Structure formats: structure tokens, C-alpha cells
Chains A and B, each alone.
Chain A
């Protein structure tokens, strides 16, 4: 599944993996946590969250089970699998490398060419 870096999709997947790596969460909780740790600087399309979750589960990086939410309702909780953990690590490295390169490029001054 070595896709080319599709920024938007890849980013959302990575953020979801990161969010559930901190502990099991239901879908709404993931949304809240990403907003919380990004200090609301990221606008996430709620409708696109669930297809991404289903895709990640289909790929085996997260797993789900039904549990009880904080307001005592039935909710589906997602957690990171071992494969997901490796994937998150790889994606994070990839992202950092890419960010370095892009930053390097963008930071280039005329005299350095």
C-alpha cells in the first residue's frame, strides 16, 4: 500500500492513526481528539472521517469493537493494531522527511542555487 503521498487523504489517515494510538476512541471521539490536539487548527470534514476509518480497518491497521460511551450509549471503539503501529511509525517518518525536503526547498535562497 505504498501510495504516493496524497497529501489530504494521507494526512487524515495518519492523524486518525495517531489519535487512536493514544487510546481507544469512538468515531466522534477521534474527531474531537484531533481537533483538541491541533487546537482546532484543522477543519475535518465529518462525512469523510468514517470512510477513512472503514478503509483503515479494512487494511488491518485499526480494529474495532463495540463498547459503552461516557454517556452510557453503545458506541464503536477503534484501537491501533500492531500493524497500525508500524504503519504510523513509517508514515510519520515519511512525513517528517517530506516536510524537511519541502521546507528545505521552500527555504532556499537565490544565492544557494
Chain B
């Protein structure tokens, strides 16, 4: 017999079932009727002939059944049959089915939701051509990784042969004036190779060429699809049109597709960098993002070694700027998404644990059920079902459970994903692209099936292999010692997994509590902050820029309800900033002696406006102009770093500009004051050395460093946010210049904590769910064991055992299981702590949290154990147990409360 005919016959059976059935019918009918006709031909009356023909033929249904069998029974048929049966069995025990489906739905739902997020944020390739070929390049100096200086980038591009395209870009924002409200739009300035590097064509028009990226060329811009739709009504004839950007007429060349955002920065427009000859010679300002597409056949390692050679050459050419400076290359995706990896993997393992706990619970329930079903199964075996068939039958029942759980779980996940998108941290790239797509559904389906096998296989195999005679005499309740071991193992596993989750959540909660108590360093209440960027063409003159900001401060101060107003180049917690290398007076000029410090340019009343406490010396005054001594105020960290143990007042350092005799001619700034440290990069971040210089003394080139952009900081007397008033105050001074990112300081603080709060919240929910599920698990096992030992207990009580002794006996069992679980869980928790440490604020070596979780866990094991142990003892004296339980709960409650404090 050929394989082909078998396949054909099988596929026929499977896919043409109804046709085959009707054919079989008519074939058999033909037989009977032909036979009857022959009889009629022999003189038998028609009715009688038909009757006789049927009798001669025999049982027609059995013949059909044998025919179906002979044809080869379809595997699909059997599976469908099994699933039908499984569903019928489950409907007969709705309580069990509901609990199991809900438990599974929680596990599968959480896992699928987190998977969808991980898929969107981490797994999906960047939407650029051949993403693995695109590298991100950084400078490496001392222990920081700054961007490239224009000079270094230009030299690198000229000398390197490893890249098919190499480009640089810098984030910038632009004032877009389309006749309605002026708007600040986030964009990038980019070099001519930018679009070639990412290999994505525009959907409308064209991108700019390298020729257009030359100084003196016409103003052009490429815009994003989003901007095109929101501000230009998706006008297809936009290419070639002119818009006003930073007050200048600018030609729109084309529109990039919505998916194109290679630096994941929500960039809305790209403007050619058009570096001037002066910028190209500058090796000192390090701020460029540099990206390159590797030439075909060049490995990242080869490119890295070429970078090494070029860096050494530049070190010799420009020792003043590039001494000790090397270049480093990483895949772009690693740079952009690397920060997200730890947190998301953490979530994924947390939900994985939750799912495992859910599976262990259902396995336990199934084990309990399989005991009561032993007789049914034994009967089926006695009637000739093979062990394999019985295992398959029981597995099918589990698959029905798993699929039902999966379906409910998908709904949960759907809701979960939209919740995460709505409440997730805004800084997480691509989070908004998470959705329940085919991949997520496939994942949920795979999880459902995997779970079915996980929680179904052990009970099924066990049931099928149980010896028949044992099953039939099993009312004695003696069997099942081995099964108890499995159940205990499952409970131990559940407890340890739940403990790991609890410890993790506990650590994050403690860390969040600690962070919330961190002193930001200044009075954050009643402060409103917004950014104002003066366009270069209109406000190129440094005096005009300074004057405009001063008038803006005056206008804002005059608003009702405003106590004072000031400007600062980067308000605390607003993100970003620029840093400079400072040379303390008395040390030779050498890169190694420079101290890297954050620069803040401020108006004279800034420190008093934000109430930043002065620790020594004096505040700035309006008299601190360029006609007088250049002065500066440093924070305590910088004072400590630069002159440890000395009084810094009156000392000087060089920075920011050079004197008339060139780069070796230092310009000294005298320290007149020391202020408290400010947590400028987030409450949970290290304080950086920081120095303040008055706006009236800043070098004119510094206006370019900060892009003529300042944060307007306004302290109010409280009450409603004067947003409208602030906007019109700014507009009254600088028409068509918007104030953007306007929010309170409190809001800025919470947005920097968004991510860690989000992680904490999710993990806490997962841990709570895990605790709940594992409690159900312990409860289930104990009540099962008690039920099994009822006779045993009865005999012991008849022999004089006291009730309390029996209660403690059962309780002890629960606590013992929990303790073993704790031991294992603690080891896991220690490992998890190490993993978590980078997400934690200052919680490193603290055993209290672990201890607290350990106390809660067996105690709840004990408390849960109360219920079955009570049922084990006589109802008359169960008040004793209640007493025990109350004591226990008091202990647990107190510990929990103490931990919360």
C-alpha cells in the first residue's frame, strides 16, 4: 500500500466528511434496493422484498461504523471527540472550571500583556532598512560618553572607510508659525547623509541632499507624517511649499513616513545642519549624535578597530581637545533600547512566575479531582481504553481549560495593554505601539497550550498508570502517598516563586518610598516652569537676547499672583543641560586636571526665586556684569570635588571661554558663593558638580550652546496655574515665540519618577496576585490532606489526642511546606535582588525587607491553614483556633505595618 493513497484517503476522510457520509449512504441504499428489485423480479411483493433485503444485509449502522473505521479514522475526529468530552466533563464541575479558568486567565492575561509591550518596545526591529547594520558612535573620554564634536565627526567621516553612509544629527526644536498659534516643534538638525544612513525613502517629495547641507544654501526642511497631517492637513502638494520656521521662510522638501523616527525622539522635522567652516574646525564642543551604516562585509569589530586608529591620529593632531579621547561603536538598537531591557525582562519574568504559580494551582486541583475520578478512569480502562488514550482524554480536558483560560486571558491582556499605554512612562520608546496583534494572540495561544500540558501531564499520567484494583478499592483512603509528595512539591514551588516576587516588589516599594523622601534641594512648591527659545535669525545679537529675557522676567513678575520670576538655562528636572571642563587655578592646563561640571546660566534673582539655600558667600546681584569681575556660584558637590576641605570662596577656576591670546589664555571666574546641591536629574540620581554664572556675564558664544533657549521659572503665591497669563506675557515681549513644556515643578518631578513608579506598581500587583494564588494553593492542599485523613484524625481523637494538638498538627504541615518554600525562595530572592539593584535607590544591603516578606509568608500559610485545620477538629472548641488565628493575624499585621513605615 502506498503512502500516497493513505494520505489521500486520510485527507479525504478529514476534509470531505459530509460528502463521504452521503456517498456511503447512497451506496448502501443502492445495494439494498438492487437486491430488493432482484427479489421483486423473482415474484416477491415489493414491500416484502425490501424488508427481506434489509434483513439479509444485517445491521446497517454497524456496517457503516465498520466502513468508517476501515477508511481510517481521522485524528482530527478523535481530537474533536476528546475536546467535546472534556468540555462536557468540565461543565459538570462548574466550580472547579471557573476557578481554574480565572486563575489561568490572570496568568495568561498578564503574561500576554507584558509580552505585547516587550514585543513593541524591544523585539520589533527599528523601522529602518537593515537595522542590524546601523551603528551608533560615541566619544569616550575619562568615564563619560559625550557626543561627537563637529570637528571630530568631519575628520572621522573623511578618513573612515567602514561605513556606506555616516551622518550626524543634533536634537533641536523650532518655532513653527503657520498663522495660528506659534508652536514649538521637536526636530533634528542633520547632515546630508542622514536619510541614506537609515535607508528610508520619503512618502511625499524628496529629502535634502549633501549639496543642500552646505553653509549659505537655501532654508529647507523635511517634515514628519504626523506634522504633515496635524498642521498641513495632509496636503499632497506640500513639497515645494514654503512655511515659516524660526521666523524664516523655509521650503518643505518632503514628508517622512510616520514609522520613521530613527532616534525614537518623536522628531517632527529635519533641517540640514549646514556646518560652517568655523564649526567644522571645532573639536571642543561634544554634542553630536553620530550614526553610520556599515559597508557590506564590514563587521562591527573591524569598524571599531578602524575607529581606534582614527582616534589615535586625532589625539596627536588635536592634543588640547582629543587627548585621551577614543571612539566607541554600538548597534543603534542597543543604544536606543538598552535602558528598557532590564525593566521589561523583570516584568516578563514576574508574569512568568505568576503563570507558573497558576499552573501549579491547577495541577493541584486536578490531582485532587483525579482521585475522585479514579473509578471512572478505571472503568474506562477496564472497558479497553489504552493508557495512551486515557492520557490523551485527560489532556484534552486540560486543553479545553487552557484554551478557555487563554480566551479570557486575551480579553484581560487587551485591557491590560491599553491600560499600560495610557499609564505607562512617557519616556519608554515605542510603548504606544504596543497592541494585541497576531503575534500576541499566537503567544497567548502557545501559553494556553503550554500551560495545559504543564498542569495536566502529571495528573493525567498518574491517573492513567494507577493500578485498576487499587482504584476499585480506593474508598479506604489509604492510597496517594506519592501524590502527596507531588502536591507538596507544587506548594513549595509556589511559595518560593511568590516569595521572590514579594521580595522584588518590596524592594521597589521601599526604594520608591525612600526616593519620595529625598530632598530635591530647593522649594519645589508653587513653581511653574516653561521653556522659551528665541530664534537665531531674529535674536542673533547677544545683547538683544539677554534684554528680551530680562523683559520677559519683568513681564512675568508683574502678573497677578506671581511672587517672582527668573530664567535659567536648564531648570532642575527639566532634563538635558550642558557641561564644561573647569580648570582650578594653580593646576597646569592638562585635560586630566579638568573637572567636568554642569553649567547653569541664570538671571540674578534665580537662586532666591527657587529658594535654593546659600551655604556660604553671597548671591548674584545686578551689578555682576561683564564690566566687573567674572563671578560664579558653585554647588557643594563641586566645592568638595575641587577644593576638598578648603573654603572655596574667593578661589578661581577657568572655564567656558578663552582670552584674547588664544586657547591657552584662561578666563578666570571667581567663586562668590556656595549653594546646596540640587537633584537636577531626578530625585533618584546622583548629584553632579554644578556651577552657576549670571546671564549678564556669559560669553556670547554660550548663547549658541544653549540655542538661545532658557527656562522661565515663576514662583506664584499658590492657587491656579497662570498658564494663559504666562503665555501672553511671553508673547507681549517676543511675538510669535511660544513658551512650551509649561508645567509645575511637582509635575516635572513626578514625570522623572514615572518609570520607577510604574515598575513598582506593576510588580506589586503581580506579587499580590502571586500571594493570593499561592494562598489558594496552600489552602487547597491542606484541605485535601485533611479530608484524606479524616478517619485517621477520628481514630487519634478517639484515642485521646487533644483538639489543639490536631489543629497544630495540620497547621504545622502548612507552615512546614511554607518554610521549605521560603528557604528556596530566599535563595532566588537574593539573586533577584542583585538583578534589581540598578533599579533601586540606595536599598542595596538591607535584609529587613526579605525578613518581612518571610514573616508574612509562613504566617499567611498558617492563617490559611486555619480553615482546614478547624474543619479537622470539633466545632465545639474551634474558638481556640480562632484565638490562635487572631494572635497570628495581629503579629502579621504589625509586621506589615512596620514594614510600610
The chain A residues found within 8 Å of chain B, CB to CB, are: 1, 26-28, 31, 45-48, 50-52, 54-55, 57-61, 66, 69, 71, 73-76, 83
Complex CA gap A109/B34 in Å reads: 50
Contact with A along B22-64 (1 / 0, CB 8 A): 0110111011011101000000000000000000111110110
B799 located at the interface, meaning its Cβ lies under 8 Å from any Cβ of chain A in the complex: no
Complex CA gap A61/B5 in Å reads: 9
Tell me the interface secondary structure of chain B in the complex. Answer: helix
* Contact call A58/B31, Cβ cutoff below 8 A: no
Q: Which residue of B lies closest to A63 (CB)?
A: B5
The chain B residues found within 8 Å of chain A, CB to CB, are: 1-2, 4-6, 9, 23-24, 26-28, 30-31, 33-35, 37, 56-60, 62-63, 66-72
* Contact call B28/A50, Cβ cutoff below 8 A: yes
Complex CA gap A1/B27 in Å reads: 27
- CB contacts (< 8 Å) of B68 on chain A: these are 54
CB-CB under 8 A for A73 and B30, given A57-B9, A61-B1, A83-B1:
yes
- Can you show 23 pairs from A to B with CB atoms below 8 A apart? A1-B1, A27-B30, A28-B31, A31-B31, A46-B35, A46-B56, A46-B57, A47-B58, A47-B59, A47-B62, A50-B63, A50-B66, A51-B63, A54-B70, A57-B71, A58-B9, A58-B71, A69-B30, A73-B30, A74-B26, A74-B30, A75-B30, A76-B23
- CB contacts (< 8 Å) of A74 on chain B: these are 26, 30
* Contact call A71/B72, Cβ cutoff below 8 A: no
Q: Which residue of A lies closest to B4 (CB)?
A: A60
- CB contacts (< 8 Å) of B1 on chain A: these are 1, 59-61, 83
- CB contacts (< 8 Å) of A60 on chain B: these are 1-2, 4-6, 9
Complex CA gap A31/B34 in Å reads: 11
Complex CA gap A50/B26 in Å reads: 12
* Contact call A47/B30, Cβ cutoff below 8 A: no
- Which 9 pairs, one residue from A and one from B, show the smallest C-beta to C-beta distance? A60-B5, A47-B58, A51-B66, A55-B70, A54-B70, A59-B1, A47-B63, A28-B34, A54-B67
Chain A nearest CB from B395 CB (Å) reads 28
CB-CB under 8 A for A54 and B30, given A47-B62, A47-B63:
no
- With A26-B27, A31-B31, A74-B30 already in contact, 20 other A-B pairs whose C-beta atoms are closer than 8 Å: A26-B30, A28-B30, A28-B34, A28-B35, A46-B56, A47-B58, A47-B59, A47-B63, A50-B28, A50-B66, A54-B67, A54-B71, A57-B9, A58-B5, A58-B72, A66-B23, A73-B34, A75-B30, A76-B30, A83-B2
* Contact call A27/B31, Cβ cutoff below 8 A: yes
Complex CA gap A89/B63 in Å reads: 28
CB-CB under 8 A for A47 and B57, given A54-B67, A71-B34:
yes
Complex CA gap A48/B547 in Å reads: 108
The number of A-B residue pairs with CB atoms under 8 Å apart is: 80
- CB contacts (< 8 Å) of A27 on chain B: these are 27, 30-31
Chain A nearest CB from B380 CB (Å) reads 26
Complex CA gap A70/B698 in Å reads: 112
Complex CA gap A24/B87 in Å reads: 47
Complex CA gap A91/B66 in Å reads: 23
Q: Which residue of A lies closest to B30 (CB)?
A: A75
Chain A nearest CB from B13 CB (Å) reads 9
Complex CA gap A61/B739 in Å reads: 87
Chain B nearest CB from A1 CB (Å) reads 6
- CB contacts (< 8 Å) of B27 on chain A: these are 26-27, 50, 75-76
Q: Which residue among A1, A27, A50 has the maximum number of chain B CB atoms within 10 Å of its CB?
A: A50
Q: Which residue of A lies closest to B3 (CB)?
A: A60
Chain A nearest CB from B329 CB (Å) reads 64
- CB contacts (< 8 Å) of B63 on chain A: these are 47-48, 50-51
Chain A nearest CB from B40 CB (Å) reads 11
* Contact call A69/B60, Cβ cutoff below 8 A: no
Q: Which residue among A31, A51, A61 has the maximum number of chain B CB atoms within 10 Å of its CB?
A: A51
- CB contacts (< 8 Å) of A28 on chain B: these are 30-31, 34-35
Chain A nearest CB from B486 CB (Å) reads 43
Q: Which residue of B lies closest to A70 (CB)?
A: B34
Residue of A46, A52, A73, A83 near B58 (CB, 8 A) is: A46
- CB contacts (< 8 Å) of A26 on chain B: these are 27, 30
Q: Which residue of B lies closest to A32 (CB)?
A: B38
Chain A nearest CB from B77 CB (Å) reads 15
Complex CA gap A52/B70 in Å reads: 7
Chain B nearest CB from A86 CB (Å) reads 11
- CB contacts (< 8 Å) of A50 on chain B: these are 24, 27-28, 31, 63, 66-67
Complex CA gap A89/B174 in Å reads: 91
* Contact call B60/A47, Cβ cutoff below 8 A: yes
Complex CA gap A73/B37 in Å reads: 12
* Contact call A58/B26, Cβ cutoff below 8 A: no
Complex CA gap A76/B28 in Å reads: 10
- CB contacts (< 8 Å) of A1 on chain B: these are 1
Q: Which residue of B lies closest to A27 (CB)?
A: B31
Chain B nearest CB from A105 CB (Å) reads 32
Complex CA gap A75/B35 in Å reads: 13
Chain B nearest CB from A31 CB (Å) reads 8
Q: Which residue of B lies closest to A66 (CB)?
A: B23
* Contact call B30/A51, Cβ cutoff below 8 A: no
Complex CA gap A84/B70 in Å reads: 17
CB-CB under 8 A for A51 and B34, given A46-B56, A59-B5, A60-B1:
no
Chain A nearest CB from B31 CB (Å) reads 5
Q: Which residue of A lies closest to B2 (CB)?
A: A60
- CB contacts (< 8 Å) of B72 on chain A: these are 58
Chain B nearest CB from A42 CB (Å) reads 15
Chain B nearest CB from A79 CB (Å) reads 14
* Contact call B37/A71, Cβ cutoff below 8 A: yes
Chain A nearest CB from B27 CB (Å) reads 5
* Contact call A46/B2, Cβ cutoff below 8 A: no
Chain B nearest CB from A48 CB (Å) reads 8
Chain A nearest CB from B348 CB (Å) reads 49
Complex CA gap A26/B27 in Å reads: 9
CB-CB under 8 A for A45 and B30, given A51-B63, A60-B1, A61-B1:
no
Q: Which residue of A lies closest to B12 (CB)?
A: A58
Q: Which residue of B lies closest to A46 (CB)?
A: B57
Chain A nearest CB from B19 CB (Å) reads 12
Complex CA gap A61/B2 in Å reads: 9
Complex CA gap A54/B13 in Å reads: 12
Q: Which residue of A lies closest to B56 (CB)?
A: A46
Complex CA gap A74/B26 in Å reads: 9
Complex CA gap A54/B69 in Å reads: 9
Chain A nearest CB from B819 CB (Å) reads 61
- CB contacts (< 8 Å) of A75 on chain B: these are 27, 30
- CB contacts (< 8 Å) of A46 on chain B: these are 31, 35, 56-58
Complex CA gap A69/B35 in Å reads: 13
Complex CA gap A27/B70 in Å reads: 16
Complex CA gap A1/B2 in Å reads: 11
- CB contacts (< 8 Å) of A48 on chain B: these are 63, 66
